[in-house]
């Protein structure tokens, strides 16, 4: 089969490698398409827990192609050949101290599809059946968003927005817009998305976001003043979904007393943010992080299936596996990109 294979950070080739065979308890998926996201750039650079050699890719959808022993449909559970599925990329070990107290996402031995075990920038992928979820009946251009929607769902679970609250989300990328929609569905009655890209803000409006704000990255202090004035003093919830530390730094000042800040975007490990501990103390600000997901796939699929999370218009670029280098270049520098899809096979 054809796959993207890294032998070291920034060093990859599109190669023909053996097609994997499913063992008992495993399922092989013929990868129709895989989304590429900012995390894949971190992995390309050797960060975000990347282990090499590696085939990256973690946002996949496609039909079941082969079944290992014990994974076929038995009348109540299991899978059928040809059934469209998505795959939860995260698997905990089950025996570390975090797993034993139910904090599975904090697993000390967490494995991630496309991070430290073989991912889906390939024609086929073999995965444990317990990570496979049916998305039959959902358009593949929608079901390919299952993983980012699950991350957004975990973000909402982490926030637990109070009914009637107001929210500000910095960032209008696909994951930011999914998160903003789900925050609104989760109880907030006013959601604002702030970003510097006019076409992404237009997409936010088309997806039903209440308010949008055009950011000027060269005058973030001015943006904070304008946003605070427009919100009547601040927001109950402020989320940074950009992964830019300079933006993260604006979150606490924009949060109403008693409110919550959430860091959601992936920054560089060495990034630092200045926060006034007195301000956090005096105004009882809560600061949370939201990292990936591990048990939010069923809720994400339900949200996509019912239209509670909408994705229309988000896909702007498509590349084949052979065009993977061009996809990376577009993700890094093309301002017209919203969501890029790698088509691993066509048909």
11 and 124 fall within a common domain: yes
Concatenating the DSSP letter of every residue in 292-335 gives --SS-HHHHHHHHHHTSS--TT-EEEEEEGGGHHHHHHHHHH-T
Pairing of strands 315-320, 124-128: unpaired
277 and 320 fall within a common domain: no
pLDDT at 75: 85
pLDDT at 1: 96
Q: What percent of the chain has pLDDT over 90?
A: 97
Per-residue pLDDT reduced to its tens digit, 169-213: 999 999 999 999 999 999 999 999 999 999 999 999 999 999 999
Q: What percent of the chain has pLDDT over 70?
A: 99
Identify the domain containing residue 21 by its residue range: 2-145+314-343
- With both helix axes pointing from N to C terminus, report the angle between 297-306 and 146-159 in degrees, rounded to the nearest 10: 110
194 and 210 fall within a common domain: yes
CATH number, domain containing residue 56: 3.90.180.10
154 and 77 fall within a common domain: no
Per-residue pLDDT reduced to its tens digit, 268-291: 999 999 999 999 999 999 999 999
The answer on pLDDT for 347 being more than 70 is no
The answer on pLDDT for 234 being more than 90 is yes
CATH number, domain containing residue 171: 3.40.50.720
45 and 180 fall within a common domain: no
- In a domain? residue 304: no
Per-residue pLDDT reduced to its tens digit, 214-232: 999 889 999 999 999 999 9
Q: How many domains does the chain have?
A: 2
The pLDDT of 77-105, averaged and rounded, is 97
205 and 138 fall within a common domain: no
Q: Position of tokens 């000390």?
A: 108
- In a domain? residue 308: no
The pLDDT of 73-82, averaged and rounded, is 94
pLDDT at 99: 98
Q: What is the dihedral of CA 240, 245, 250, 252, to 10 degrees?
A: 70
The answer on pLDDT for 121 being more than 70 is yes
> In the listed set 254, 272, 289, which residue is the last one of a domain according to the structure?
289
pLDDT at 217: 85
The pLDDT of 155-162, averaged and rounded, is 97
């Amino acid at each position: 089969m054809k796959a993207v294979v890294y032998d070291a950070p920034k060093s990859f080739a599109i190669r023909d490698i053996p097609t994997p065979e499913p063992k008992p308890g495993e399922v092989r998926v013929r990868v129709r398409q895989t989304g590429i996201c900012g995390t894949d750039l971190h992995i390309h650079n050797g960060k975000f827990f990347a282990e090499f050699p590696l085939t990256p890719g973690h946002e996949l959808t496609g039909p079941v192609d082969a079944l290992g022993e014990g994974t076929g449909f038995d009348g109540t559970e299991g899978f059928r050949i040809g059934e469209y599925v998505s795959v939860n990329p995260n698997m905990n070990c089950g025996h570390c101290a975090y797993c034993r107290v139910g904090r599975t996402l904090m697993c000390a031995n967490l494995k991630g599809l496309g991070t430290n075990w073989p991912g889906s920038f390939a024609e086929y992928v073999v995965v444990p059946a317990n990570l496979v979820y049916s998305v039959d009946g959902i358009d593949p251009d929608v079901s390919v968003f299952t993983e980012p929607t699950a991350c957004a769902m975990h973000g909402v679970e982490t926030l637990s927005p109070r009914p009637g609250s107001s929210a500000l989300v910095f960032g209008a990328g696909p994951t930011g817009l999914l998160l903003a929609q789900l925050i609104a569905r989760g109880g907030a009655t006013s959601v604002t998305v702030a970003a510097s890209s006019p076409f992404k803000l237009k997409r936010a409006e088309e997806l039903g976001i209440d308010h949008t704000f055009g950011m000027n990255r060269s005058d973030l202090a001015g943006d904070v003043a304008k946003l605070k004035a427009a919100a009547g003093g601040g927001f109950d919830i402020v989320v940074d979904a950009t992964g830019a530390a300079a933006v993260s730094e604006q979150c606490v000042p924009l949060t109403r007393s008693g409110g919550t800040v959430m860091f959601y975007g992936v920054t560089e490990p060495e990034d630092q943010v200045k926060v006034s501990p007195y301000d956090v103390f005096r105004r009882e600000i809560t600061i949370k992080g939201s990292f990936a997901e591990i048990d939010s796939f069923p809720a994400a699929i339900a949200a996509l299936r019912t239209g509670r999370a909408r994705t229309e218009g988000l896909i702007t670029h498509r590349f084949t596996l052979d065009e993977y280098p061009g996809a990376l270049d577009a993700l890094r520098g093309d301002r017209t990109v919203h969501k890029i899809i790698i088509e691993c096979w066509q048909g």
